[in-house]
Amino acid sequence: MNRIDRLTAILVQLQSKKVVTAQEIANRFEISLRTVYRDVRALEDAGVPIGAEAGKGYFIMEGYYLPPVMFTQQEANALVLGAKLIEGQTDVSIKRNFTEAMLKIKSVLKSSEKDEIEKLESQIVVRHLPQVEKEGFPNNFLATIQQALIDKSVLRFRYYSSFSDDFTTRDIEPIGLVFYAGRWHLLAYCRLRQAPRDFRVDRLVKLEKLDETYDTGHQPSFSQFLEEIAFSTDLQEVVINIDKIVARYISEQKYSQGFVSEEVGETHIKMKFLTPSLNYTSRWVLTLGDAVEIISPAKLTAMVKERIEELRKCYSV
């Protein structure tokens, strides 16, 4: 990257955050801190009002903005790919906002670039897992949740538990959003349970953002919460041995079953899982036939035998 392009990129970076450290700029462009200082001075000499806080970093003075951002062809192409992914992995609220953002982005492209983007859009398809819409579950809350995270606002909603087949009203203090097992999950401090909880967003009903705000002092950090999810006491450890050849066919599927780690042997792979439901896991293990051996827990082996007996009774003549 030549210096003119780097100076423009630094200016964009300075406008992207409240405060940007010299080290962040150096890391992004792989330059020395001395070069960062020279570049910042060059921007100041060009009339850009850059402020600095000792020990914190640089910031753009309030009221200064760049003209409309110009995108390179490669940047616009990357956004097209992102849009295709968003289509199947977010809800209506995010899709609507992203569609509006893409229209603004396309508006600053050259005519020839617009034609190329339209052609590229028709040549990229992401085949998402089908999202079954359930009556009474709008699944349209991600944008509101994002705003609540920014504002530190308390959220209230009705939450459906598949275990109890019932709804409860929850007032929660949001901590973060995480996407795993094909679903968005809201990590939050639940005032009803007086503890951090993991809520599937597609099971929320009648969500509202309250005027009340909260103090994050008593909450675990986002990273701590993610660690707690991985080693939650509600999850049960499952260890199996699976034939190496068959293991290839579940290389991606295993992650939806709570895959944690594996040890590769000569003919088999020893896999460890954390699952919230041995009943569900027993049915999945059964699909692997004689290619799998259950090491632990013994309860899972007993459950698989029960499933086999159920099948025998169902199909016996």
Whole-model pTM: value is 0.59
Summarised one tens digit per residue, pLDDT across range 115-150 is 888 888 888 888 765 555 555 666 679 999 999 999
Residue 105's pLDDT is what?
77
Give the residue numbers spanning the domain of 95: 73-123
State whether 242 and 298 are in the same domain.
yes
Tell me the C-alpha distance between 241 and 7, whole Å: 55
State whether 82 and 108 are in the same domain.
yes
Task: Please indicate, yes or no, if residue 131 is contained in any of the structural domains.
Answer: no
Residue ending a domain, among 176, 208, 232, is 232
Residue ending a domain, among 216, 232, 248, is 232
Task: Please indicate, yes or no, if residue 216 is contained in any of the structural domains.
Answer: yes
Per the structure, the count of domains in the chain is: 4
Summarised one tens digit per residue, pLDDT across range 83-117 is 888 887 888 888 888 888 887 777 777 778 878 88
pLDDT tier, 66 (very low <50, low <70, confident <90, very high otherwise): low
- Alpha-carbon 227 to chain mean position: 15
State whether 77 and 53 are in the same domain.
no
Residue ending a domain, among 199, 232, 265, is 232
State whether 146 and 224 are in the same domain.
yes
Summarised one tens digit per residue, pLDDT across range 40-62 is 999 999 888 999 988 889 998 88
Strand order in the sheet with 259-264: 259-264, 268-275, 236-243, 292-296
CATH assignment at residue 186:
2.30.30
CB 107 within 8 A of CB 71: no
Task: Please indicate, yes or no, if residue 136 is contained in any of the structural domains.
Answer: no
State whether 204 and 244 are in the same domain.
no
